[in-house]
Structure 1
Amino acid sequence: MRPSWAWFYRDCSCPLAQLAASPDLIAFLQALPERRKRRGVRYPQWLLLLMAILGILSGCRSARDLERFAKRHPPPGPVGGGGGSS
């Protein structure tokens, strides 16, 4: 029986070795394939994943904690892939 994450390795456009050889976390997250539909996307996937990782490492234990963490630590400027103005 294959693990539940096996779909990622099968569908990944770049070899796993390239991803694993990345020297930093942001480059690794940016190399992950985008699985979301374009409609409604406000932030790049790598930024959302980074915020989740940092939030969890900071002690967030729920989605509400992660939301509060993200509001306390907004991105420093235009991140790219953004939507409307806020």
Structure 2
Amino acid sequence: MAHTLDELVAMQRAADQARNRVEELRDSFGPPAHHTWTDVQTDTYETAWRAWRDLARDVQAAVTRYAKDEEKPRNAVEEEVRRTARHPPPAP
């Protein structure tokens, strides 16, 4: 499936949000080595971590396909996607 740059940016934002959720849970629950997590906490964290992993994998694969299709260096496409996702240009 071909993606546009805007779609890649949206995918990156979703992956970033998922990563933030994992970090929030880790901060909220505390280190598992210091405080035993409940089964619910463990399941919640693992579900969030899997979502982040899957979204990150999908955006990486899409960036690779886009770069190949557009005949651009992959690292340049990835940088543009991340920069735009994390620091959007001001609205006109």
- Interval containing the TM-score (normalised by the shorter chain): under 0.3
TM-score, with length taken from structure 2: 0.25
Q: Whose relative contact order is higher, 1 or 2, with alpha carbons under 8 Å and at least 6 apart?
A: 2
TM-score, with length taken from structure 1: 0.26
Q: Which has the higher helix share?
A: 2
Which protein shows a greater Rg?
Answer: 2
